[in-house]
Amino acid sequence: MPALHALANPARFLRIARPLTPILFWIGVALVLFGCWAGLTLTPPDAVQKESARILYIHVPSAWLGMGGWSGLAIACLSYLIWRHPLASVAARAIAPAGATFAALCLLTGSIWGRPTWGTWWEWDGRLTSMLLLFFVYIAWIALDRADAERSGDGRVPALFGVAGSALLPIVHYSVIWWNTLHQGESVVTGKIHISLLWPLFFTLAGFTLFFAGVVLMRMRAILASQKVEARLRRMAAA
Amino acid sequence: MKAKHQRLVLALLALGAILGASALAMSALKDQAAFFYAPADVKGKPLPLDRHVRLGGMVERGSIRRADDGVSIRFVVTDGQATVPVAFKGVTPDLFKEGSGVVAEGKFQPDGSFVADNILAKHDERYMPPQAAGNMHETKTLAK
């Protein structure tokens, strides 16, 4: 915890974030490119779904980051509520659009995958519906956060909403276990993917995650810079 | 107790309550959230005849009968405890086959059978190369 609190100092945060951003970003891009190439060329097709199963190398990391993004956002909101540190709300603001993008990518790749395998673009089953809801909740959080900032609120309302929204995470995750759904059950954590098809997924999972972290750091730096500009303009106007 | 610590305890309690509430809601909604009826769900109970519903399970091995017109099929859906005969006219997805998962959309008939107007394939969570699955499907990848 003391280490985290030390990082909460914006100047110290920027000193670390500045060199870290391109490292995370480019290693992430490289891993994703290699993982996708390997998933398209080095692995055998799935016995049942044939070539269409290869989309899992994008679909699974998107789902992971769509949900992981909200976990990060909720943790940032929670620490903002507890310690009132402005950097926590900057982090939440930086994560939201990135998480929403991956949630959308998850829905999109899932839809493209569902057409040839299930025979439908979309069905209102528990997993698909709860994931769509998570995407809408991201959009709602972004709208609420902007409205709060515009009315110069203290950020407590979006922070509360960010914590409350985590109610969706167990629903998305357990929907395929506790409910009967069209979507199949857990594959990755239960080890149901043969290693010869599985290994490129580790590259795309790690790659997209680093890429995500890089984008979030980039956005946090941009938000901090724009806050600085605003403060300077205000001082100049006052002088 | 400092205000900071008080907020920490309160916020963690709130988070626990939220996650607990969503788990409770999920188990309470189990029946409503179900995407389909399994054959055992309707066995010995009044059939939902007046509504458009989904029936899900496995296609019983050896049960698919194709009619001479080329588009009408009959098969049996099973969940290991009960079975329901299904009639369908139309195009089935590629993954629809005996011994694998299926979700049929349509209506129950008074005699206990099911008439489907749409067939979805439900695959399981296992992924493996054709050799491991023991079938002789060609194993070329996109590269070759």
What phi and psi values does residue A10 have, to the nearest 5 degrees? -55, -40
pLDDT along chain A (239 residues), means of 10: 68 92 98 97 91 95 98 95 91 97 98 94 94 98 95 90 94 91 90 92 97 98 93 90
pLDDT of the residue at A4: 65
pTM value > 0.95: no
**Is the Cβ pair A194, B127 closer than 8 Å?**
yes
Contact A119 B121 (CB under 8 A): yes
CATH annotation of B35-122: 2.40.50.140
Q: How far apart are CA B58 and CA B121, in angstroms?
A: 10
Reported as a single tens digit per residue, the pLDDT across A165-202 is 999 999 999 999 888 899 999 898 888 999 999 999 99
Beta pairing partners, A76: none
pLDDT at A6: 67
Pick the closest to residue A87 from A28, A14, A2, A190 (CA basis). Answer: A14
* pLDDT score recorded for residue A167: 93
Residue type, A122: W
- Collect all residues of chain B within an 8 Å Cβ-Cβ radius of residue A169: 19
Largest CA distance in chain A: 72
- Concatenated DSSP letters for A24-57? HHHHHHHHHHHHHHHHHHTSPPBTTTBGGGGGHH
User: Is B127 labelled as part of a ligand binding site?
Assistant: yes
Domain parsing of chain B, residue ranges: 1-33, 35-122
Closest alpha carbon within chain B to A71: B15
Domain positions in chain A are: 23-43+53-238
Q: How far apart are CA A171 and CA A131, in angstroms?
A: 9
Residues of chain B with Cβ-Cβ distance to A196 below 8 Å are 128-129, 132
Angle of CA points B16, A78, B20, to nearest 5°: 15
Quick one: pLDDT at residue B144? 35
- In this prediction, residue A77 carries a pLDDT of 96
Residue A227 CA, distance from chain mean position: 24
Query: pLDDT tens digits for A1-25?
Result: 556 666 678 888 999 999 999 999 9
Per-residue pLDDT in tens (0 to 9) along chain B, 144 residues: 688 888 889 888 988 999 999 988 888 888 788 899 999 988 888 888 888 999 999 999 999 999 988 889 999 999 989 999 999 999 888 899 898 899 999 999 999 899 999 999 999 889 998 877 765 444 444 443
Picking from A82, A178, A187, the nearest residue to B30 by CB comes out as A178
Which positions ≥6 away from B39 have C-beta within 8 Å? B55, B57, B77, B78, B79, B81, B82, B83, B84
